[in-house]
């Protein structure tokens, strides 16, 4: 795994070097008397509520003011988070392990912290008046949540990791092609085909199947189906790949953006 690119001490500018700190090798400042240690713990924390008899144990950091108390807690370093993530996905969805690991590592390495200039003054009122950028999205402009509005907009989109071990299974013999399942599906998984009608009938639109790449297993379609053409089944390994009806023959060509 690629490690952090931090090379110099943010306190004194000295070079960082690997050193044993707290039973583990960490980057620490080599300058005499500096003492800076780089803790690779960007955000995740863990906290515990410890009960003893009828009481909850709280702790106080030795650097805190006397009346401050807190839960027993600490930061998680990146390797620990990554190991827990990998363990979770290795059991449940091995195929999703690699993409999730890569996403986590990119989140750690590519995030940029941008410092806003603030007025060079100790005056609180002036600081509060400093211009701040407004949020890009508010409740009126935020994208629709929980719904993929542009199906196939990502070549590698695969929602199979969201499923809980069950898939909707389509039986074409029972289907009356009413389209109710498509109306309720939040991810537009249903694939339709045009077929010539019998005799003088116009072209008919028929449900061909489900593209399991986009199916997150919410089972709304099953509740909506009036004919029993959709039923809930356990999802054995490889079932989705073997039975999916692809929405696009070549996702790269079909991207809308």
Is 208 an interacting residue with respect to ligand SF4 (CB under 6 A)? Answer: no
Q: Which residues pair with 193 in a beta bridge?
A: 206
Considering only residues 99-158, where is the footprint of ligand SF4 by CB under 6 A? none
- We find the least distance from the C-beta atom of residue 211 to ligand SF4, in angstroms, to be 8
Is 230 an interacting residue with respect to ligand SF4 (CB under 6 A)? Answer: yes
Is 185 an interacting residue with respect to ligand SF4 (CB under 6 A)? Answer: yes
Q: Looking at 187, 213, 240, 247, which residue binds ligand SF4 (CB under 6 A)?
A: 187
b/e map of 201-215 (b: 16 or more CB within 10 Å)?
eeeeeebbbbbbbbb
Q: What is the pairing mode between strands 190-195 and 204-210?
A: antiparallel
Dist CA 183 CA 174 (whole Å): 18
- We find the least distance from the C-beta atom of residue 166 to ligand SF4, in angstroms, to be 8
Measured from the CB atom, the residue of 28 and 221 that comes closer to ligand SF4 is 221
Q: Looking at 4, 43, 204, 227, which residue binds ligand SF4 (CB under 6 A)?
A: 227
Q: Which stretch binds ligand SF4 (CB under 6 A): 14-22, 39-47, 70-78, 207-215?
A: 207-215
Considering only residues 151-170, where is the footprint of ligand SF4 by CB under 6 A? 168
Is 247 an interacting residue with respect to ligand SF4 (CB under 6 A)? Answer: no
Is 71 an interacting residue with respect to ligand SF4 (CB under 6 A)? Answer: no
Q: Which residues lie near ligand SF4 (CB under 6 A)?
A: 168, 175-181, 184-185, 187, 189, 207, 210, 215-221, 224-225, 227, 229-230
């Amino acid at each position: 795994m690629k490690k952090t690119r931090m090379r110099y001490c943010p306190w004194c500018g000295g070079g960082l070097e690997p050193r044993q700190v707290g039973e583990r090798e960490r980057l620490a400042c080599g300058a005499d008397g500096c003492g800076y240690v780089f803790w690779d713990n960007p955000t995740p924390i863990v906290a515990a509520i410890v009960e003893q008899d009828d009481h909850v144990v709280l702790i106080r950091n030795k650097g805190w003011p006397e009346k401050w108390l807190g839960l027993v807690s600490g930061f998680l370093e990146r390797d620990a988070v990554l190991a827990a993530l990998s363990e979770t996905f290795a059991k449940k969805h091995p195929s999703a392990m690699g993409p999730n690991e890569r996403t986590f590592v990119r989140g750690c390495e590519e995030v940029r912290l941008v410092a806003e200039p603030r007025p060079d003054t100790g005056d609180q009122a002036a600081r509060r008046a400093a211009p701040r950028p407004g949020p890009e999205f508010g409740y009126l402009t935020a994208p629709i949540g929980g719904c993929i509005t542009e199906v196939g907009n990502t070549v590698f989109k695969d929602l199979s990791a969201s499923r809980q071990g069950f898939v909707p299974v389509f039986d074409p013999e029972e289907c009356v092609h009413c389209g109710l399942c498509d109306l309720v599906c939040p991810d537009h998984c249903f694939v339709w085909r045009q077929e010539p009608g019998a005799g003088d009938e116009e072209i008919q639109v028929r449900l061909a199947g489900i593209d399991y790449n986009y199916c997150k297993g919410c089972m709304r379609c099953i509740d909506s189906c009036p004919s029993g053409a959709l039923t809930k089944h356990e999802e054995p390994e490889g079932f989705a790949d073997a039975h999916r009806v692809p929405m696009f023959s070549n996702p790269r060509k079909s991207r809308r953006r």
